[in-house]
Structure formats: C-alpha cells, structure tokens
Amino acid sequence: MRNSAAFINAIEVVSAPDVVIPDTATSLFPIGEAGGLSYYAYHTVYRLNIGGSAITSTNDTLGRNWSPDRSYLLSQSTAKSVSVEPKIVQYPDGGSPLIAPPSVYASAVHMADARVGDPNFNVTWQLDVDSAFGYLVRLHFCDIISKSLNDLYFNVYINGMTAISGLDLSTVSGGQLATAYFKDVVMNASLASDRITVQIGPLKEDTGRIDALLNGLEVMKMSNSVGSLDGEFGVDGTKASDSSSNKKAVAAVGFAMMFGAFAGLGAMAVKWYKRPQDWRKRNSFSSWLLPIHTGQSSFVSSKGGSGSGFGSKSGYTFSSTLGLGRYFSLSELQEATKNWDANAIVGVGGFGNVYLGELDDGTKVAVKRGNPQSEQGMTEFQTEIQMLSKLRHRHLVSLIGYCDENSEMILVYEYMANGPFRDHIYGKDLPPLSWKQRLEICIGAARGLHYLHTGTAQGIIHRDVKTTNILLDENFVAKVSDFGLSKDAPGNQTHVSTAVKGSFGYLDPEYFRRQQLTDKSDVYSFGVVLLETLCARPALDPALPREQVNLAEWAMQWKRKCLIEKIIDPRLIGTINNESLNKYVEAAEKCLAEHGVDRPSMGDVLWNLEYALQLQEANPPVSSETTSANDENEEKCEDEHGKGEKSESSATTAPSVGTNVSDDSSTAVANELFAQLAGMKGR
C-alpha cells in the first residue's frame, strides 16, 4: 500500500526448465488459447496430491510440498482413492518429472461405486481463493485404473464450465496406460469469484466404462495488470485496472448488442410486412426476408423448383448454428492443397476428390471438394452436412469447417494420418497389424456405430459400413467416416422403406430383398468387416473360385466345418488366443444372421469384441499351445455338429489367403455379378 514499507529476509532462486510453465494454456472463458503465460508471476495457492498422502519437499523433484486433498472434497462418499507403485508411471516424449513427481501420478481419486446401473454424478473439490486475481489451474492425470486402452472417457468442469470434454488419456498420452499427462486452464478474476470448484464426471455416452479420475491439482494465482501478487499497486505506484470499470464496459457492449438485435428484428418485421405476393413459390424465404443474403449457392439447396442443381443462385447460405465449424475462403484451401495438386489427392468418390491440405498453422486437414457434374455427389454432400451438424464423437471423423465460395461445395475434416483400415489389412505394402491392434480398431468402429444408432434422439443408420470407411489417426484410433448415404432411423417404426444403396459384398441381404432399412443392416455390414479383418481379403473377389467369391458365405462355410482358423490371415497364425478367436467369430456369425431380428445390436457386438480383447490380453498364446487348443476346438466342434460334416471338410483343402489383392476387386465384381440389377445404385 502507499506510504507503507515492505521488507524481505531472503531470496531463493530455483532454476527450472520452460516445460514447467508453458507459454500457452486453455482459456476457460472466452474459450480459446491464452498466451504469454511466461510473462506472469505466480503464487501457488493449492498443490494437492489427489488420492494420496502429503509429499514433502525432500521427495519432490523441485522441492515442492503437496498436500492431501480429502479436506477439499465436497462429498467424500462420491470419491474412491486408488494408488499404484510410482515406478510404473511413465512420462511421454516432451514430459518431465519436474512438472510433478511419479508419486503424484501414482495416486488418484475416481468415482466411487454408487451401486446403481447408470451412475451419473461428479466428484467435486472446492477451493477458496482471492477474487481479485486470475488463476492458472493445473490438472494432473494418469490412467492407473483402466485395464485396456480407449476405455475411459470423462469430462472435467471448473466453476460449472466445461474445461475438458471427452478426455481420453489413452490418446493424449501416446497410446499408453499409466502415463503422465497434465492440462493447464486459465480463468480470469470474474470467473474465479471467491471459490474455485473442480469437478470430474462421466461422459454420459456409451463409450466405455463409466468413471473419471484426477491425480493432482495445482492452483496458482497470476499477477495482475501491474505485476502484483498481493495488492492493487505496482512497484512504481501504478494502480491495477478496476474490475468495476471492466464490468461497465461489458454492460455497455451488452446494451449495444441488445439494441442491434432489436434493430435487426425490426428490419425483418418490415420485410415481412412488405413480402412479395409469390413468396411461397420461391426457393428460399431467406432470399427476401433477411436484410442481407449472399446470393451464392451453397450445399443446402432446395430439391424442387429451378435452381435445384449444383451451382444455382438460390440465395441459400450456411448458418453458424449448423455446427459446421470454421469458414474457409477458397483461396485458403487452394493454398492449403497447392492449388488442388493432383499429387495431394488421398481419396476419390462419387462426390469428387479428397485432398491432403496443410493450413497456415501447420495443421493437416482432409479437404473434400465436390464435383459439380455429380448428382450423386451433391445429394451425398447434403446428407453428410445434415448428419455432421448433429454428430460429435471420438470415433466419428470430425468436421473442421467448410467453404461455399464461388459455387464451390467443400468440407474440411480432421486428417486421418494412417488412412483407411483396409490398407493395413491387405492391398498395400504396410506393416501388418497385430491381433490386438485389429481388435482395438474394430472396437473403436463399433463404438462409433453404436453412438450413431443410439446417441441421438432418433438414431442414424450409416448404410455404407466397410473397411474403407473406417479411418485411422496417427495413434491407430478408428473413426467412422463417409455419411453420404446415411439415413435417420425410423423412430417408432420398424424400418425405413428406401431404395437400396450401399457397397457390394457388405449389403444386408434382407435389405436388398425387401428394400426395408434398419440399424441391423449396419450390423450385417459390420459382420463382413469383422471377417475382412480376420481373413485379410476383400468382401468380394471375382478372381477366386465361385464358392470363394463372397467372403461372408465362404467364411461361414468354414466356420460350420469348424476350420475357421484355416482361412485367417497367415500373419496372425500363432498369435491369437483360441478363446478370443472363438468369441470374435461368434460375434461375426451373429452379425451375419439371415434375418435382422436375429442379429445383435451394435452395443451387444461391442461387448463381445471387448470380451475377446480381454481374453487375448489375459492369456497371449504360445505357438504350441495354439496348435493344441485348435485341435481341442475341432474335437468340440465335431461333437456339436457331427462327424459327417467334419469328415467332408477333411477332404477339402483350405485355400491360401494372400495379401496381394487388387484394390479394385470390389468394383470389378459389382460390374460382373450385379450388372443385371436395374435401378440398384452400388458404390
């Protein structure tokens, strides 16, 4: 304060690397990135070892003291402590024990057993703070409770606002369990008030176990506008900015925005009063009702009347409320794709081409550019927009933004570095995936499809499930893509009557015969994906003998002969636990049931695949044990099905399953076998 004295007894200088306080963090509000953190001074208000005991300075990597968290828990009955040996804690590339010692990450608090079928509560910590300052909240995580990857998803809230949504520690920690991870969140004084509340809770989506955890928590006071951590004056006597004046400015802006909104509504009311007589016949009421419209074409256009074709001047435009993300200019995307360089094409479809692009900040994206000559492409683009505007899930490819400049129709997606799942099974000279990796990819895809079927009020049927529409990111996390053929589920009805569309080899035969679409049609297609994953061959291959052309039929024949292990990918032989294989094939067989009512839901399929993964991890096979187990399995199958079928199969030579097959085999068989099906629109 003015006219007062200050003194100090000692100064201790501790050298620490830049990684301890990065220069950027996530801003809680407004949502975005806060920079320049290295220019602030910090005072640690709380440093808590969540779920563990006190850690003294002698046991810390930087001489810090960590306190237990129990006294700050709002309800101890909602929390359960867990701990492991600190030596199992790993640090990722770029991480450092200086951020927090292993003993912090070796203990945690997670959700207690509520003894209910669907627990839905948060674990809460409350911390009193000085409301005159902003704070840096550092959250420490380490998944020491999961048994497998991609099984734990949860949310983190600070003062009732979402700080982290759908946190998957398996991904952010580089695909490893028990790996340290921290997240910094900046909150200004207006949000901090006189208390900071930190909460963890389940994702409320069917994406794995219902749980959440936190290992450590630090709350650091940030210096104010004059560099002070205690008073309102700086060393030069400058007074810190008055928060009340900021509030007045905010109020003034609020009033201005409210006035603008009323003015806009008034203008629209005048427009409505002066509306043309033929307004009902026009393509879009927005072209005359709104005070301003672009007059350009867009993805969302009327199906009837003039101007329904691609490139028409219908007056439609994108709305930010559609959830389509960032707007890109055409020049930005031209630069990102090197002016639509043919060498940047990573995919081709009925809609047009998909290009690999790189934005100004170095982010790689997939740019889907519509073909103006393709009626199919236009229809699929409209469908994909409608679907993506209401879908957000870890195992669905995310939309980043769009461009509708100069009659273009362009969507920008997150880039999936490892491309289609099929490329890693056969057809490309890529390193083979292990059985565990294939199971995890199938589980991820199943989670995405299960969310499609159940995650929205009505549900969505994908209608084109196949290995080329399951994409893999840099960590081989599977994400379902291509919603151009998707349909809203029938709701209270049993099916949707619609023209048959899809990909040959994956088509549900019941849907093909009756033209009645249900979510069980996706289940059938996914069953083919499971066999494709196991056998490493296309769903249809016309180059093979007639009885082997259709993978689903051929594999089920070998399953009935109890010799499914004879046709699996040779690269997997000796690596699959026999019980895991049986559970996996059982799931595929149920998916391929002739009638939809006999097929499981995607939730049931997901459960079986997760069980197969647990069996594999619990008892990885040894080659000799695998041979013995296969013999036992054949004897068991012989008892179940009788010796006649088994003896018949003994005279049959199992074909050699190769990996060098043409990428275009599915298309070839479509032309060869199904050309006679008039009106059938295969892809």
Catalytic residues: 464
CA distance 103 to 519: 48
CA distance 67 to 52: 9
Q: If DSSP codes are grouped into helix, strand and coil, which group holds residue 594? A: coil
CA distance 61 to 166: 31
Which of 475, 469, 480, 394 has the alpha carbon at shortest distance from 437?
475
Q: What is the Cα 62 distance to its own chain's centre?
A: 36
CA distance 268 to 290: 6
Q: What sign results for the dihedral spanned by CA atoms 437, 442, 448, 454? A: negative
Residues in the chain, overall count: 683
* Angle of the 578-591 helix axis to the 623-641 helix axis, nearest 10: 40
628: left (phi over 0), alpha (psi -120 to 50) or beta: alpha
By the 8 A CB rule, do 318 and 402 touch? Answer: yes
Task: Give me the residues paired with residue 239 across strands.
Answer: 233
DSSP 349-396: ETTEEEEEEE-TTS-EEEEEEE-TT-HHHHHHHHHHHHHHTT---TTB
Q: Strand (E) positions, 152-287?
A: 154-158, 161-167, 181-187, 195-202, 213-214, 216-222
CA distance 520 to 603: 12
CA distance 125 to 554: 58
| 368 labeled part of a ligand binding site | yes
CA distance 611 to 601: 16
For residue 266, how many other CB atoms are within 10 A of its CB? 10
Element (H, E) at 42: strand 42-49
Annotated binding site for ATP: 368
Annotated binding site: 368
